[in-house]
Amino acid sequence: MSSPERQKALKGMKDVLPPDIYLWQKVERTASELFSAYGFREMRTPVAEATAVFSRGIGEGTDIVEKEMYTFEDKGGRSITLRPEGTASAVRCFVENQLHTLPSPQKYYYLGPMFRYERPQSGRYRQFYQIGAEVFGSAAPAVDAEVMSMLRHFLMRLGLGSLNFQVNSIGCEECRPGYKQALLAYFAPVTGDLCPDCQRRYLHNPLRILDCKVRRCIELRKDAPRVTEHLCTGCEAHFRKLLDLLKLLNVPYTVNHEMVRGLDYYTRTTFEVTSEDLGAQNAVTAGGRYDNLVRNCGGPDTPAFGFATGIERIVDLLKQTLLPPEPAPAIFIAALGEQAHDAAMVIADGLREEHIWVELGEPAASLKSQMRKADRLSSEYVFILGDDELNSGLISWKRLSDGTAGKVSRADVGSFLSGRR
Ligand code: HAM
């Protein structure tokens, strides 16, 4: 008989196991605790949506929609897509659930897997996790600043406070067409020298030539007109106020005129947080304002602002300075004989109800092998339970780190730890 074939996780998708998972949990806990203090509540949306949610939301001509979506037909013949990002889903949810009828602004955060059919490399996966936050219902630059400051506090709490914020404004429906014309005029004499991708971008979305990584394109755009020189009065005032507020809130930033982002929905503010310690995929967080998206998705006129951060990239950074702590049991109960093991199960049950981590030895194992196991698990205490202990009602304990030992009555086991830690 041939041996069964061993299956592997799909390319670009990975298992997350201890000890890394402790860092993931820390990142997720930090986000939910801190974001709550800013009034954000959690939103959970399905991982799959009708394809139109993303093709309309993110934009037909974007790399994500053109090349990277996991799209398939379900058994009912509908076109379904695994979400490549969270904003379009959040907007669909906002509109469908009429969240605009609640007091403005509405603030939500989300956390979960996203799917993009990209070429996998270090820091770039086909299934990756984002933590995102979105504010609906305010056009004020104060919201942009407040959310970016919240993000900075989040990164600081994780020990990543030195990361740099790059900020830009890409204008609005009123001023962006003029800027596009200026770019087209600038690149017109050199279109043949641009890389093939940028030659396409020239025709469909010339702003994206500004963040092309090809050296020749970088040289050619050296003297390209800057978007901030073409902003209308409203966008200019929004950007100035945002920069003032970022200073006031001590968010360190640099203005990057070339940061235009690869999703179509942005208006005015765009920003990214990058790290030099991540290699080619150096964006840790990205976001911006999207004042027209809710309306374009069938909702009422609702300005919005948000960001998303990649959990894998944050964890990669944390691992460079912090080894994930391996948690250990508080108590290991070594029981000798069936009767003692039964009693140990009852004691463990009571302690676990108090959220104390208790491990039990194997029922038939020798004391020596149970002690070895307690040691391997780095348990803080070992309780020893044999006939003597059962008869006297006193349990022997030993603290493994310093060898101290003693006895505790069965009735006091619950309060044993509180006085000793
Ligand atoms: P994004 O720039 O496409 O923006 O992704 C945000 C973050 O997700 C990136 O900075 C990166 O950390 C992580 N990320 C993206 N793709 C991958 C990948 N293939 N593997 C690992 N990590 C990845 C958005 O998704 C927008 N929805 C952000 C936003 C929210 N804008 C407004 N609100």
The pair of structure tokens assigned to 74 is 């379900």
- For atom 1 of ligand 1, the residue with the nearest CA is 286
Residue 281 counted as domain residue: yes
Task: State how many domains the chain has.
Answer: 3
Residues 86 and 213 in one domain: no
Cα 251–chain centre separation: 20
Final residue of a structural domain among 159, 193, 224: 224
Residue 2 counted as domain residue: no
pTM of the shown model: 0.93
The per-residue pLDDT for 9 is 98
Distance, in Å, from the CA atom of 117 to the CA atom of 104, rounded to the nearest integer, reads 36
What is the SS3 assignment for 250? coil
Nearest-CA neighbor of 317 among 275, 357, 280?
A: 275
Residue 239 counted as domain residue: yes
Final residue of a structural domain among 295, 321, 347: 321
Nearest-CA neighbor of 149 among 136, 161, 159?
A: 161
Q: Rounded to the nearest whole angstrom, what is the distance from the C-alpha of residue 285 to the centroid of ligand 1?
A: 7
24-54 pLDDT, tens digit per residue, is: 999 999 999 999 999 999 999 999 999 999 9
- Domain assignment of residue 339, given as a range: 331-415
Residue 127 counted as domain residue: yes
The per-residue pLDDT for 162 is 86
Q: Rounded to the nearest whole angstrom, what is the distance from the C-alpha of residue 226 to the centroid of ligand 1?
A: 25
Distance, in Å, from the CA atom of 317 to the CA atom of 160, rounded to the nearest integer, reads 8
8 Å CB contact between 113 and 128: yes
Regions of the chain short of the pLDDT cut 50: none
Residue 197 counted as domain residue: yes
Nearest atom of ligand 1 to the alpha carbon of 283? 10
Residues 308 and 204 in one domain: no
Residues 250 and 386 in one domain: no
- Helices (runs of H) and strands (runs of E) counted in the chain: 15, 16
Residues 208 and 249 in one domain: no
- 261, 293, 340, 381 from 399: Cα distances, Å: 56, 60, 20, 5
Residues 314 and 394 in one domain: no
Residues 354 and 217 in one domain: no
8 Å CB contact between 343 and 334: no
Residues 270 and 358 in one domain: no
- Owner of token pair 């942005």: 266
- Owner of token pair 């970016």: 148
- For atom 21 of ligand 1, the residue with the nearest CA is 124
Nearest-CA neighbor of 267 among 40, 51, 87?
A: 87
Residues 219 and 306 in one domain: no
Residues 184 and 273 in one domain: no
* Region class of 129: left (phi > 0), else alpha (psi between -120 and 50), else beta: beta
**Residues lining ligand 1, Cβ inside 6 A:** 85-87, 116, 118, 124-125, 128, 130, 132, 134, 283-288, 306-310, 312-313
Residues 122 and 32 in one domain: yes
The per-residue pLDDT for 1 is 63
Distance, in Å, from the CA atom of 94 to the CA atom of 100, rounded to the nearest integer, reads 7
The per-residue pLDDT for 416 is 86
- For atom 3 of ligand 1, the residue with the nearest CA is 85
Residues 151 and 238 in one domain: yes
The per-residue pLDDT for 421 is 67
- Cis omega before residue 303 (within 30°)? no
